């Protein structure tokens, strides 16, 4: 089962992922709902070279109506997670990711260091903009393009992404997450994600309508006191109802930081999201209790 989470900054919502007992997870809004049950190296179902597998389903999500809102909002979101071989991933919440480079297994004496990989990514950011205060500007969605670097260790996966918004706020963003987890029983699994995200001041200006600026497409990332950033964690529980059907529940909490985000316009700097859903796996199936890289 792959439970994939949606990771998303500020008022942006990075959608949802899929749960296949490889448990992927769902990326969330504002901070983003990103949470994978297992590390990526475990969450991928076993696939021969070139084979296609998919996890399709849906979730019911309780999240803030908009960034800084203390009012809960319930919506339904589709889960789409497609893998083509071991290099190309297409996800409703995690975007399009291609593993262009991968190292061999590294060791330091008797200790296994793991493997490293890198490649390009393209993501679509959906903004949370429900029940906005009267007179508030509507934050547009955004397409983002960039790259990632990942380190798969014996205890979990560490990944960092750097992206440039090609539409919307037209700024830079970056996020880093550590995912770990495993089976407790042959059918029941637990996943934990620790994460942080940063978005430059272009996003802040766009959100608060403060001196909007156009950023040259080739401008470099820069840091300042008005940047938007979050720190948070996500917990995912998944249960394989059958060899293909997986049920999962996910909860996440992120805290917003940044000088400009202390504005009284924000009712809260906390972003809490709860999700429950089902996914159906198409393609080769991993036996109960087995992980792609496990015994």
pLDDT, tens digit, for every residue of 89-133? 999 888 999 999 999 877 766 677 899 999 999 998 877 666 666
List phi, psi (to 5°) of 76: -115, 135
**Any idea where the domains of the chain sit in the sequence?**
5-282
Residues 15 and 26: their CA atoms lie apart, in Å, by 6
Q: What pLDDT is recorded for position 150? A: 96
Average per-residue pLDDT in the chain? Answer: 77
Per-residue confidence band for 66, with pLDDT thresholds at 50, 70 and 90: confident
Mean pLDDT, range 155-167, rounded to an integer: 94
Residues 143 and 227: their CA atoms lie apart, in Å, by 19
Nearest one of 283, 221, 206, 281 to 11, comparing CA atoms:
206
Q: What pLDDT is recorded for position 228? A: 87
Residues 8 and 14: their CA atoms lie apart, in Å, by 4
Q: What pLDDT is recorded for position 22? A: 33
Give alpha helix (H) positions in 169-221.
201-208
Mean pLDDT, range 166-178, rounded to an integer: 90
Asked if 188 and 164 count as a contact pair (C-beta separation under 8 A), the reply is no
Q: What pLDDT is recorded for position 15? A: 34
Q: Which residues contact 8 (CB under 8 A, 6 or more apart)?
A: 14, 15, 27, 28, 29, 30, 31, 32, 33, 34, 125, 126, 128
Residues 92 and 82: their CA atoms lie apart, in Å, by 9
Q: 5-282: what CATH class?
A: mainly beta
Give the distance, in angstroms, between the CA of residue 188 and the centroid of all CA atoms in the same chain.
22
Mean pLDDT, range 13-27, rounded to an integer: 35
Res. 29: pLDDT tops 70: no
Res. 190: pLDDT tops 90: yes
* Weakest mean pLDDT among 65-69, 131-135, 141-145: 131-135
pLDDT > 90: what percent of the chain? 45
Phi-psi map region of 261: left, alpha, beta (phi>0 left; psi -120 to 50 alpha): alpha
Give the distance, in angstroms, between the CA of residue 160 and the centroid of all CA atoms in the same chain.
11
Q: What pLDDT is recorded for position 138? A: 65
More confident residue, 276 or 7: 276
Per-residue confidence band for 18, with pLDDT thresholds at 50, 70 and 90: very low
More confident residue, 48 or 264: 264
Q: Token pair 């200006």 is at which residue?
A: 205
Res. 291: pLDDT tops 60: no
Q: Token pair 């049950």 is at which residue?
A: 37
Phi-psi map region of 260: left, alpha, beta (phi>0 left; psi -120 to 50 alpha): alpha
pTM, to two decimals: 0.79
Mean pLDDT, range 224-234, rounded to an integer: 89
According to the per-residue pLDDT averaged within each range, which of 132-136, 161-165, 262-266 is highest? Answer: 161-165
């Amino acid at each position: 089962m792959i439970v994939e989470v949606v990771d998303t900054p500020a008022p942006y919502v990075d959608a949802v992922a899929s749960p296949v007992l490889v448990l992927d997870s769902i990326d969330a809004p504002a901070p983003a709902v990103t949470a994978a049950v297992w590390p990526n190296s475990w969450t991928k179902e076993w696939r021969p070279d070139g084979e296609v597998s998919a996890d399709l389903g849906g979730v019911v999500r309780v999240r803030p109506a908009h960034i800084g809102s203390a009012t809960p909002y319930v919506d339904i979101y589709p889960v789409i997670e497609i893998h083509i071989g071991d290099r190309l991933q297409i996800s409703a919440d995690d975007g399009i990711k291609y593993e262009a480079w991968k190292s061999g297994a590294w060791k330091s004496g008797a200790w296994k260091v793991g493997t490293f990989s890198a490649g390009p990514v393209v993501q679509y950011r959906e903004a949370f903009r429900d029940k906005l205060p009267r007179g508030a500007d509507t934050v547009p969605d955004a397409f983002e393009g960039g790259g990632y670097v990942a380190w798969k260790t014996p205890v979990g996966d560490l990944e960092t992404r750097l992206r440039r918004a090609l539409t919307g706020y037209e700024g830079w963003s970056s996020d880093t997450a550590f995912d770990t987890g495993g089976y407790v029983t042959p059918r029941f699994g637990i996943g934990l994600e620790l994460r942080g995200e940063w978005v430059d001041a272009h996003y802040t200006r766009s959100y608060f309508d403060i001196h909007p600026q156009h950023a040259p497409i080739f401008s470099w990332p820069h840091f300042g006191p008005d940047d938007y950033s979050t720190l948070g964690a996500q917990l995912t529980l998944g249960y394989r109802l059958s060899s293909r059907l997986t049920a999962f529940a996910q909860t996440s909490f992120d805290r917003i930081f940044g000088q400009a985000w202390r504005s009284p316009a924000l009712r809260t700097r906390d972003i809490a999201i709860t999700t429950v859903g089902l996914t159906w796996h198409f393609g080769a199936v991993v036996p109960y209790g087995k992980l792609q890289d496990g015994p």
